[in-house]
């Protein structure tokens, strides 16, 4: 599927294969010291692929390979390396060599790297930066993580209203090499307050003598430095923007967030929701599959322990109802089925509600209507399941008592599970907490406790009341004898 790199048009869908081949060739060339071949090999490769190839090398070869890159390549490649390898290179390369890379990195990528480094190293690196880059980095590090302030870059093109389109285009040309994007342009007043935006498309199609103030759009959507990164992502996604301006409390333009960072945020948030649904604690940016087994266990054991302790209540409920189980042991055969079905119905409701909250598709419906809807859906599903489960339980449980207990509690359990599955995430959201925390496994386990209680209490009640009940409804004694255990 993958064509050799260097081929003029590469239809690439298997990056990993490409990176693997490059890594192998790279390692072989470095081993024999053929540095010219390395330069030739890497020349047509994209920075992100070079970064992955370097990441696959033994640590001592990483610095050698990195040194062989041109200055521009080194800067782009460095930004794509994993934090651990970035740190490794910092230590291996003499500081003089790294100063240039540090100086030229995007401010947002640099802030993300500095966050991971020991304070001592950060202080040294900051002292080597130019005063301007130092100020910008310190400023970005001052914003809370996962906010627009941390996500933004301070490299953007800003224009003034009274400039002409021709002058503005000249400014764009000059700034093209050192700004993250030149496709979205920002207009500010003397106090650096954002007064309008225009796209490079608008600028290119404007008459050369047109005033920027007349070409720009005054209705600007912006976010604040403390806006949550997920909201920033949703806004860019909704309006199909390439970038969004970030302003401070005084409406002064302080940075922009670009669409490529937003894709990563959307992916990160999706991973977080999925992990929550699977009772796994999400890590930071680090790669799950390269973290060690104790990190893996640590990220899971807390949730498991919580769920096990919740299961103790189910055990308590069963122990408390030992008497009815003693009488009809086959009742035990349906405890997992009822708990499981309740759990699954609860998981379905919480899944759609949590996802609806994430993508904001639930907001058309109010919370009460959403819960009501789920409750009715749960009851409907319970009725449908009864058709399947009651005959099986009656036959397998060898009595009407088991069949009726299972059927009656099934309906109650699915309704309750769907209601709880919808209500808990919505409640959490209202309280300002992450709804995904009220995750599927938690709802599953709670449903288990309640479901088992409902089932065994129903059975206990039927054991003492079924005969009278059947008599009252006029069912013959013969049938009665056949049906009760």
Q: Which of 26, 63, 69, 385 binds a copy of itself (CB under 8 A)?
A: 385
Q: Say if strands 184-188 and 194-199 run parallel, antiparallel, or are unpaired.
A: antiparallel
Q: 399-418: buried (b, 16+ CB within 10 Å) or exposed (e) per residue?
A: bbbbbbbbbbbbbbbbbbbb
| 3-class DSSP state of 157 | strand
Nearest Cα neighbor of 232 from 146, 159, 317 is 146
Q: Which of 25, 64, 300, 470 binds a copy of itself (CB under 8 A)?
A: 300
Q: Which of 132, 214, 264, 285 binds a copy of itself (CB under 8 A)?
A: 264
Binding mask 162-191 for a copy of itself (x = CB under 8 A): -------x--xx--xx----xx--------
Alpha-carbon distance values, 95 to 102, 132, 295 (Å): 10, 19, 32
Q: Which of 25, 37, 39, 46 binds a copy of itself (CB under 8 A)?
A: 46
How far is the C-alpha of 281 from the C-alpha of 185, rounded, in Å? 40
How far is the C-alpha of 236 from the C-alpha of 220, rounded, in Å? 12
- Contact between 453 and a copy of itself by CB under 8 A: the answer reads no
Q: Which of 60, 123, 145, 392 binds a copy of itself (CB under 8 A)?
A: 392
- Contact between 391 and a copy of itself by CB under 8 A: the answer reads no
Which residue stretch of 64-72, 114-122, 138-146, 279-287 sits at the interface with a copy of itself (rule: CB under 8 A)? Answer: 279-287
Q: Which lies closer to a copy of itself via its Cβ, residue 309 or residue 475?
A: 309
- Contact between 290 and a copy of itself by CB under 8 A: the answer reads yes
Q: Which of 297, 433, 437, 482 binds a copy of itself (CB under 8 A)?
A: 297
How far is the C-alpha of 191 from the C-alpha of 211, rounded, in Å? 19
- Contact between 267 and a copy of itself by CB under 8 A: the answer reads yes
Torsion of CA 398, 402, 403, 406, to 10 degrees: -150
| Cα torsion angle, 171, 176, 178, 184, sign | positive
Q: Minimum Å distance from CB 376 to a copy of itself?
A: 6
Q: Which of 25, 158, 163, 359 binds a copy of itself (CB under 8 A)?
A: 359
Q: Minimum Å distance from CB 65 to a copy of itself?
A: 18
Alpha helices in 328-439 (DSSP H): 335-359, 367-396, 400-430
- Contact between 26 and a copy of itself by CB under 8 A: the answer reads no
How far is the C-alpha of 186 from the C-alpha of 157, rounded, in Å? 6
Do the beta carbons of residue 229 and residue 147 sit within 8 Å? yes
Q: For a copy of itself, how many residues bind (rule: CB under 8 A)? A: 137
Distance of CA 64 to the CA centre of its chain: 35
Q: Which lies closer to a copy of itself via its Cβ, residue 176 or residue 479?
A: 176
Q: Which lies closer to a copy of itself via its Cβ, residue 160 or residue 231?
A: 231
| 3-class DSSP state of 216 | coil
Q: Minimum Å distance from CB 103 to a copy of itself?
A: 21
Binding mask 317-336 for a copy of itself (x = CB under 8 A): -xx--x--xx--xx-xxxxx
Residues 86-145 that bind a copy of itself (CB under 8 A): none
Binding mask 195-214 for a copy of itself (x = CB under 8 A): xx---xx--xx---------
Do the beta carbons of residue 158 and residue 253 sit within 8 Å? yes
Which residue stretch of 110-118, 424-432, 444-452, 466-474 sits at the interface with a copy of itself (rule: CB under 8 A)? Answer: 444-452
Q: Minimum Å distance from CB 87 to a copy of itself?
A: 19
Q: Minimum Å distance from CB 128 to a copy of itself?
A: 27
Residues 225-244 that bind a copy of itself (CB under 8 A): 227, 231, 234-240, 242
Quote the DSSP letter at residue 3: P
Which residue stretch of 111-119, 133-141, 158-166, 193-201 sits at the interface with a copy of itself (rule: CB under 8 A)? Answer: 193-201
Do the beta carbons of residue 14 and residue 2 sit within 8 Å? yes
Residue 288 token pair: 């799950």
Nearest Cα neighbor of 404 from 416, 415, 393 is 393
With vertex at residue 110, the alpha carbon angle to CA 104 and CA 111, rounded to the nearest 5 degrees, is 145
- Contact between 345 and a copy of itself by CB under 8 A: the answer reads yes
Q: Which of 92, 122, 396, 485 binds a copy of itself (CB under 8 A)?
A: 396
- Contact between 370 and a copy of itself by CB under 8 A: the answer reads yes
Do the beta carbons of residue 365 and residue 461 sit within 8 Å? no
Q: Minimum Å distance from CB 245 to a copy of itself?
A: 9
């Amino acid at each position: 599927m993958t064509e050799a790199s260097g081929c003029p048009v590469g239809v690439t869908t298997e990056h990993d294969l490409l990176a693997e081949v490059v890594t192998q060739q790279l390692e072989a060339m470095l081993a024999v010291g053929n540095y010219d071949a390395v330069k030739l090999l890497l020349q047509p490769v994209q920075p992100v692929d070079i970064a992955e190839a370097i990441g696959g090398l033994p640590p001592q070869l990483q610095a050698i390979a990195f040194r062989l890159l041109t200055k521009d390549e080194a800067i782009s490649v460095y930004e794509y390396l994993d934090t651990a390898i970035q740190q490794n290179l910092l230590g291996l390369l003499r500081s003089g060599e790294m100063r240039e890379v540090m100086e030229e990195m995007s401010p947002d990528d640099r802030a993300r790297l500095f966050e991971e480094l020991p304070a001592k190293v950060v202080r040294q690196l900051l002292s080597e930066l130019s005063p301007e880059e130092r100020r910008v980095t310190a400023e970005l590090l001052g914003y809370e993580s996962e906010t627009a302030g941390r996500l933004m870059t301070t490299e953007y093109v800003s224009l003034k209203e009274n400039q002409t389109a021709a002058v503005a285009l000249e400014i764009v040309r000059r700034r093209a090499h050192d700004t993250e994007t030149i496709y979205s342009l920002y207009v500010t007043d003397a106090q650096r307050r954002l007064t309008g935006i225009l796209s490079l498309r608008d600028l290119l199609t404007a008459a050369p003598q047109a005033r920027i103030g007349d070409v720009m759009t005054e209705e600007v959507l912006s976010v604040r430095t403390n806006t949550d990164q997920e909201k920033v992502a949703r806004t860019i996604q909704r309006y199909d923007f390439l970038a969004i301006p970030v302003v401070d409390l005084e409406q002064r333009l302080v940075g922009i967030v670009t669409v490529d960072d937003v894709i990563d945020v959307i992916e990160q948030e999706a991973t977080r929701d999925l992990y929550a649904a699977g009772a796994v604690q999400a890590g930071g940016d680090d790669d799950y599959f390269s973290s060690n087994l104790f990190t893996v266990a640590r990220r899971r054991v807390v949730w498991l322990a919580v769920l096990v302790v919740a299961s103790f209540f189910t055990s308590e409920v069963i122990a408390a109802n030992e008497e009815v189980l003693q009488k009809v042991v086959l009742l035990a055969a349906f405890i997992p089925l009822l708990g499981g079905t309740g759990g699954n119905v609860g998981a379905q409701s919480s899944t759609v509600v949590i996802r609806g909250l994430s993508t904001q598709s639930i907001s058309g419906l109010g919370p009460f209507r959403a819960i009501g809807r789920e409750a009715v859906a749960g009851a409907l599903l319970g009725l449908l399941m009864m058709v399947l489960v009651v005959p099986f339980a009656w036959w397998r449980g060898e009595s009407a008592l088991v069949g009726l207990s299972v059927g009656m509690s099934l309906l109650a359990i699915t309704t309750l599970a769907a209601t709880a599955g919808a209500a808990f995430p919505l409640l959490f959201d209202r309280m300002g907490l992450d709804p995904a925390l009220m995750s599927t496994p938690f709802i599953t386990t709670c449903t288990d406790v309640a479901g088992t209680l409902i089932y065994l209490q129903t059975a206990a009640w039927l054991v003492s009341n079924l005969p009278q009940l059947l008599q009252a409804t006029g069912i013959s004694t013969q049938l009665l004898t056949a049906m009760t255990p």
